[in-house]
Amino acid sequence: MKRTMIYLPEQTHHGLRKIAFEANTSMADLVRKAVDVVYGDDIGDIRIMGEEIANYQIHPESAITLDELRRRKKVNV
């Protein structure tokens, strides 16, 4: 896990602190969960894209068309 710093408006910080207290968790955990909900799919896509690029660099013959990629994504959804 990496550490980062964010700045929140006072009202947001106060509300988040209250929610964390009521949920018996940390503000950091709430922020991590919120980021995962909002950006989780995009982050997953970036990870998959990195794996695909690495695979392509090793095996360029494995490339597929954009239409094939879209078809595969629809099947997997």
pLDDT in tens, 50-70: 887 888 888 888 788 888 888
Residue 76 placed within a domain = yes
For range 32-50, the mean pLDDT = 83
Residue 5 placed within a domain = no
Residue 44 placed within a domain = yes
H helical segments located in the chain: 10-23, 27-58, 66-76
Q: In the chain, what is the straight-line distance between the N-terminal and C-terminal CA atoms, in Å? A: 29
Residue 6's pLDDT is 94
pLDDT class for 30, splitting at 50, 70, 90?
Answer: very high
Residue 22 placed within a domain = no
Whether 76 shows a pLDDT value over 80: the answer reads no
Cα–Cα nearest to 29, from 19, 39, 41, 15: 19
Q: How many structural domains is the chain composed of? A: 1
Residue 28 placed within a domain = no
52 lies in which domain range? 34-77
Residue 20 placed within a domain = no
